[in-house]
A = this chain, B = another copy of it.
Amino acid sequence: MNQRPLLSNADANLTHDVEVMDERGRLSTIAIPCERPLTVYVDKRELVTLMTLGGAPEMLTVGYLRNQRLVRSVEEIASVQVDWSVDSVAVITRNGIADVEARTAKKVVTTGCGQGSVFGGLMDEVDSIVLSADARLRQSVLYRIVDIIRTQQSIYKQAGSVHGCALFSADGGLLYFIEDVGRHNAVDAIAGKMWLDGIEGDDKIFYTTGRLTSEMVIKGAQMGIPFLLSRSGTTQMGHMVAERLDMSLIARCTGKHFLCLTGKHRLLYESGLMEERLRLV
């Protein structure tokens, strides 16, 4: 039986108005994204402080514990209570976390925007991950996803300076859209939501506005997702890890353009679309 943890539903402002002066000395007011510390306590023990926008702190906390492999199933978590008055979240587990000292000791400072630190050993697990072999992505679904992202209401459009991540179903339906000051918080929050909703990654498509660095690829793989899309680019290690996992990395997605870097056989070209595209060129 899936025992869902008891979650708070903490609310916080996501943008903040500031006065700016432009190149002609004119004053005006713009919105900038909020950025606040969230200190995670697990069974009353301080674990980490995350810097976050604050839009989905419960999901972020659950996803952080998941992606750091500190809890193995959502059932291990009894409650997640965020209290912004003290910028902290109290997690209570059902049976404690074994060896929490040792498991959080190794520090790897990674590339990504945001939650740049992954506790050691993540790469060790990569080789044990097997992504769904028959998952395919149709070109028309890819275009549908790019279009949904383009028209999505967002903090980015209001205030800039945040990254967005989204999860889509196999037919390109939007399941989740999360923004944060760090894209790693956004991906962790999606991992948390997936756990809480019992959603598997096996045929899903993950979209990020940020770069596809090694840790983004590793986190995608941990969630079992075979498709990673970005409007940005990739790095050598992101590419290498994706290739090893036979994951489809598709970068530079804008309009009808994209570059498929790895897992090319998973992408189903639709000749009608290609011909239409050729006519337009």
- A interface residue numbers (CB < 8 A to B): 16, 18, 20-25, 30, 32-37, 47-51, 104, 107-117, 139, 159-161, 181-182, 184, 211, 213-215, 232-239, 251, 256-261, 264, 267, 269, 274, 277-278
B277–A23 touching, CB < 8 Å: yes
A257-B21 Cα distance, complex, nearest whole Å: 11
A25-B258 Cα distance, complex, nearest whole Å: 10
**Tally of this chain's copies:** 2
Residues in chain B near residue A235, CB distance under 8 A: 32-35, 161, 181
Residues in chain B near residue A36, CB distance under 8 A: 236-237
A37-B238 Cα distance, complex, nearest whole Å: 12
With contact pairs A20-B259, A235-B161, A269-B25 given, residues A214 and B109 touching in the complex (Cβ less than 8 Å)? no
A21-B267 Cα distance, complex, nearest whole Å: 10
Residues in chain B near residue A16, CB distance under 8 A: 236, 239
- Interchain nearest-CB distance for A49 vs B (Å): 5
A181–B257 touching, CB < 8 Å: no
25 of the cross-chain contacts (CB-CB < 8 Å) are: A20-B259, A20-B260, A20-B261, A21-B259, A21-B260, A21-B264, A23-B258, A24-B277, A30-B259, A32-B234, A34-B236, A36-B236, A48-B108, A50-B109, A51-B111, A51-B215, A110-B114, A110-B182, A112-B116, A114-B116, A116-B117, A117-B117, A160-B232, A161-B211, A161-B213
